[in-house]
């Protein structure tokens, strides 16, 4: 292994832990948010009309401010949305972590490649946000 190279097992273990953790946290938030929604509105389980209100477009929080306000108000939809945001952020954090590891090991080729992937991911998030 060349000087500064990353031990492949170490990076794989770190990435694996990040992905498992992100998915686990996401799943927990989505399940908790669903449970909170059904606890606050037990009619969702028995009424198609009530459930249609929950799934109607525009009912979920649309930005981080609304998610934070919903969490403060203990709204299930906000917890579900936070879980989805964590799920979307997980691969971005994975790429950013890889970039840091490669930079610390002075692996220029992988720093360049990983930086490009990270920029493309962030650009797609920014363009998606701008598109509404």
Full-model pTM:
0.80
Contact between residue 60 and residue 80 where contact means Cβ atoms under 8 Å apart? yes
pLDDT in tens, 48-84: 888 788 778 877 888 889 999 999 999 999 999 999 9
Distance separating alpha carbons of residues 115 and 131, to the nearest angstrom: 24
The two structure tokens encoding residue 77: 């939809």
**Of 125 and 67, which is predicted with more confidence?**
67
Contact between residue 90 and residue 97 where contact means Cβ atoms under 8 Å apart? no
Predicted pLDDT at 3: 47
Sequence-distant (≥ 6) Cβ neighbours of residue 126 within 8 angstroms: none
């Amino acid at each position: 292994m060349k000087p500064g190279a990353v031990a492949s097992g170490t990076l794989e273990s770190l990435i694996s832990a990040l992905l498992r953790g992100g998915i686990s946290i996401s799943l927990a938030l989505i399940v908790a948010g669903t449970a909170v929604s059904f606890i606050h509105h037990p009619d969702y389980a028995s009424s198609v009309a009530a459930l249609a209100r929950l799934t109607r477009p525009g009912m979920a929080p649309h930005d981080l401010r609304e998610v934070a306000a919903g969490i403060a108000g203990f709204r299930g939809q906000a917890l579900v949305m936070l879980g989805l945001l964590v799920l979307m952020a997980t691969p971005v954090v994975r790429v950013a972590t890889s970039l840091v590891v490669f930079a610390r090991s002075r692996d220029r080729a992988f720093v360049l490649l990983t930086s490009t992937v990270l920029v493309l991911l962030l650009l797609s998030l920014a363009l998606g946000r701008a598109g509404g």
